[in-house]
C-alpha cells in the first residue's frame, strides 16, 4: 500500500509542477505577445511595460486564449493596426514556442 501512496503523491506533485509550468509559460508568452502588439501600436517603453502586464492580466478573465485574443484584437483595431484575428492566433503560436525555448534555456 505504501508504494501506491508514494506513487499517488508523486503523480500529484508532477501534476502541480505541470500546472505551475503551464502558468509560467502562458504568462511569459503573454508578455512576449504584448510586447509585439505594443510595438505595432508604437507605445513608449513605459507604456509597453504596462501593456505587457495588462495582457497577462487579461488572461485571467476566462480559461483558454480567447480573452487574450479579444484584448489584443480590440486594442490593435482601436490603434488602427491592420491585424486580423488569424494574425494574432499565429503570433500566439509563435510566441508560445519562443516562451518555451526561453524557459528551457533558463531565461
Per-residue confidence at 53, pLDDT binned at 50, 70, 90?
Answer: very high
Supply the DSSP symbol for 63.
Answer: S
Query: Has residue 13 got a pLDDT over 90?
Result: no
On the question of pLDDT at 45 being above 70, the answer is: yes
DSSP per position, 7-54: HHHHHHHHHHHHHHHHHHHHHHHHHHHHHHHHHHHT--HHHHHHHHHH
- pLDDT, tens only, 17-34: 688 899 999 999 999 999
Model confidence, pTM: 0.81
Q: CA-CA distance, 104 to 98, in Å (whole number)?
A: 10
Q: Report all structural domains of the chain as residue ranges with CATH numbers, in order of start.
A: 2-104 (1.10.790.20)
What sign does the CA torsion over 30, 99, 88, 66 have?
Answer: negative
Amino acid at each position: 500500500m505504501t508504494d501506491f501512496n508514494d506513487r499517488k503523491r508523486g503523480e500529484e506533485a508532477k501534476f502541480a509542477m505541470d500546472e505551475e509550468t503551464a502558468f509560467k509559460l502562458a504568462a511569459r508568452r503573454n508578455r512576449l505577445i504584448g510586447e509585439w502588439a505594443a510595438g505595432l501600436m508604437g507605445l513608449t517603453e513605459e507604456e509597453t511595460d504596462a501593456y505587457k502586464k495588462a495582457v497577462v492580466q487579461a488572461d485571467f478573465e476566462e480559461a483558454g486564449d480567447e480573452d487574450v485574443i479579444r484584448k489584443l484584437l480590440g486594442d490593435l483595431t482601436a490603434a488602427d493596426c491592420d491585424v486580423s484575428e488569424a494574425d494574432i492566433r499565429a503570433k500566439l503560436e509563435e510566441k508560445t514556442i519562443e516562451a518555451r525555448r526561453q524557459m528551457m534555456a533558463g531565461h
